[in-house]
A = this chain, B = another copy of it.
Amino acid sequence: MEPYTVIRHGHASYPVFIGKDALADVRSVMDDIAGIRPAYLVTTPQVARIAAERLEAVAFAGEPLLLPDGEQAKSLASIEELAGGLISRGVRRDGVLIAVGGGALGDAAGFAASVYLRGIDVVHVPTTLLAQVDSSIGGKTAVNHPMGKNLLGSFHPPIAVIADVGFLDSLSEQELCSGALEALKAGVIGDTSLFDLIELERDSISRRQLEMLEVVVQRAVAVKAGIVSADARESDQRRLLNYGHTIGHGIEAAMNYEGITHGAAVGYGMIGANAVAVARSLLDKGVAARIDEAVRDLHAGDPPPADVADILRATEHDKKFGGGKRVMVLPRDIGHCVVVEDISREELHLAAERALAG
């Protein structure tokens, strides 16, 4: 199997494999990349249950080590427990974790790999569309602190990413759309044809048309790969990936991360950002309407029932930890965004209001 692309971060580089049955080739990928080094499967109970058949390809990595489903994986207590499992199995510095799961599993297993014995290698096998198009690429790991999400973490690039779109077959409509919204975001940032494809093929997404989803993953990965290869750490270029995230994070925090997917929050955040871009005459009103419509079409439900004041409070918190400035990514056109650092409180207010209006 040939990699779809190779991501370069400073001195590290890793291949990304994308395909309908990509995990079937995991053994030969491991042979090429890790040689005879021992591999260990890390996953969650839900993935182990739903994808049992597909996981037979990684049987060579032994009985899975389990992290809890969902955000529960992302605590220091879970990391300590996983590390205990690695110690019990005698995993050494030459061990390689194969992390099979969604974004939370990837964040937590990546963090564990980065601190176990001061760092062992990890291969990411993202199983959700969101993780395939976004979180598995770029080398960021994270766990939560009782006082806030993703406040602890590391930069720990994997040695390979295997995005098997076959996993997407069992995703819920909600999860599919969450990933499609992040892919739509990638389209607005840097790939007009990706945007067109998602807009046009909305129904194929619901039908889990895997050939189409494979192309969506490829193109979204290409956008992110181009950005993170140029700039591995959080700065400049990489901030473009935060389109929709200023208000999106605010919505998630205001709703206590419950009752809304990350992609949906980002989608409504894009609607908010578009309103500011139009008000600044950076973006044509018709183009904004087209992006907004694509978001609504993918979300297919009511806008998030959050409170504007709560969203603004959360964005002030992000501002505080981010760098003291109110930053938004604003589109100038589909395929072209800019980072704007002098966002006013009034503009944030407008963005939050428009996002909630849907």
Q: Report the minimal beta-carbon distance from A325 to chain B, rounded to whole angstroms.
A: 11
Stretch of A76-84, A249-257, A294-302 on the interface side: A76-84
Whether A92 and B324, one on each chain, are in contact in the complex, defined by CB atoms closer than 8 angstroms, is: yes
What is the predominant secondary structure among interface residues of chain A facing chain B? mixed
Q: Count A-side interface residues using an 8 Å CB cutoff.
A: 39
Residues on B with C-beta less than 8 A from A115 are 111, 115, 152-154
Residues on B with C-beta less than 8 A from A87 are 145, 147-148, 151
A93-B146 contact in complex given A79-B76, A151-B87, C-beta closer than 8 Å: no
Cross-interface CB contact of A155 among B119, B142, B323, cutoff 8 Å: B119
Complexed CA–CA distance, A115 and B141 (Å): 10
Question: A305 in the interface, Cβ–Cβ < 8 Å?
Answer: no
Question: A140 in the interface, Cβ–Cβ < 8 Å?
Answer: yes
Whether B146 and A84, one on each chain, are in contact in the complex, defined by CB atoms closer than 8 angstroms, is: yes
B-binding residues in A (CB < 8 A): 10-11, 76-77, 79-80, 83-84, 87-88, 90, 92-94, 111, 114-119, 140-142, 145-148, 151-155, 234, 320-324
Contacts A92-B321, A119-B155 known; 8 new A-B pairs at CB < 8 A: A76-B77, A76-B79, A83-B151, A84-B145, A92-B320, A94-B323, A117-B152, A118-B152
